[in-house]
Structure 1
Amino acid sequence: MAQRTESSIVIPASPAAVLDVVADVASYPEWTPEIRSVEVLSEDDGWAEQVRFSLEAGPVKDTYTLAYDWDVDEDGAGTVSWHLVEGGVLKAMDGSYLLERVDGGTKVTYALGVDVRLPMLGAMKRAAEKRIVEGALQGLAGRVRG
């Protein structure tokens, strides 16, 4: 899975405020249109370690489990990354949020790579990734702004 979709947005809030929303994995269905349900399977010190999601993003529909890695500073800057542990249609899903303090708030860069078991044109996979990334960034910004 060499190709990834990446996009960024600047949110007028501190990295800590953005991280609070990112870390509240259970609330993703409230602000991410493609996420239908979430079940946190395990945590470490309040950080989600493994999470089961139900996703509907255009042609990609699946229930899958992700493992998270939280490499963030006390001020909230850093990287939250994940990789697929188990999926049905999905055979790979690797992604990350990079949170960087910038003038005017926090620059959030979302990178996502998806691969599926079904035959699917690369353009369709990229379109699904783009839909997930753009929807998540807009939803994240809206949720942080409250």
Structure 2
Amino acid sequence: MAVRASREIVIDAPPEAILDAIADIEAAPTWSSVHKRVHIVDRYPDGRPRRVEVTVKVLGIIDHEVVEYHWGRDWVVWDADRTSQQHAQHGEYTLSPEGEATRVRFDLTLEPSTPLPHFLVKRAKKTVLIAATEGLRGFVLSGKGSLQHD
């Protein structure tokens, strides 16, 4: 059974700055409690990540994923290959300018490889949503997110 989670926040930054922060995927472990290790396998010609190997940990469950990203002017989507913990994963950030700020919508759908108790799913969703939105907001506002991250 697929698990879906979504959340919207407003970040006081333009969409380009937010996409640059997301594209700085190697820095994700510094702002996302879920990401433990990130390795970019290859990039698009503009420097944005295309295929990425990621180690994630949610509620003590560790998973190793290969994720493929696709980038638009005001969105990014990704899909993860099948792993030992999940059959499928699809994620999206959609950005909408609101004056000087940007509304950020995060959507995640994943299909666990084994059934999980409802209380664990609920706790995992909360952890992932906070990391993906509040963690991103903190990183963007710190000014550290860019494609030139070392």
Structure 1 runs (4+) greater than 2 angstroms displaced: 121-127
Aligned to 1:136: 132
Which consecutive residues of structure 1, in runs of 5 or more, have no partner in the other structure? Answer: 73-77
The letter for the 2-side match of 1:71 is G
TM-score (norm 2): 0.86
SS class of match (1:133): helix
SS class of match (2:96): strand
Structure 1 residue 88 displacement after superposition: 2.0
Q: Deviations over 1:104-135 (max 9, x none)?
A: 40111100112221231345334313311222
Query: Does the 8 A contact of 2:2 with 2:110 survive in 1?
Result: no
Aligned pair partner of 2:76 in 59, 80, 97: 80
**Percentage of pairs with the same residue:** 27
The letter for the 2-side match of 1:111 is D
Alignment of 1:47-126 (within 5 A): 47-72=48-73, 78-126=74-122
CA separation in 2, counterparts of 1:51 and 1:100? 26
User: If each structure's strand is expressed as a fraction of its own residues, which one has the higher value?
Assistant: 1
Q: Deviations over 1:68-118 (max 9, x none)?
A: 11022xxxxx11001112422121111100111013401111001122212
Structure 1 residue 30 displacement after superposition: 0.7
CA RMSD of aligned residues (A): 1.6
Query: Does the 8 A contact of 1:113 with 1:129 survive in 2?
Result: no
Change (3 A) 1:13 1:7: same
Structure 1 residue 64 displacement after superposition: 0.8
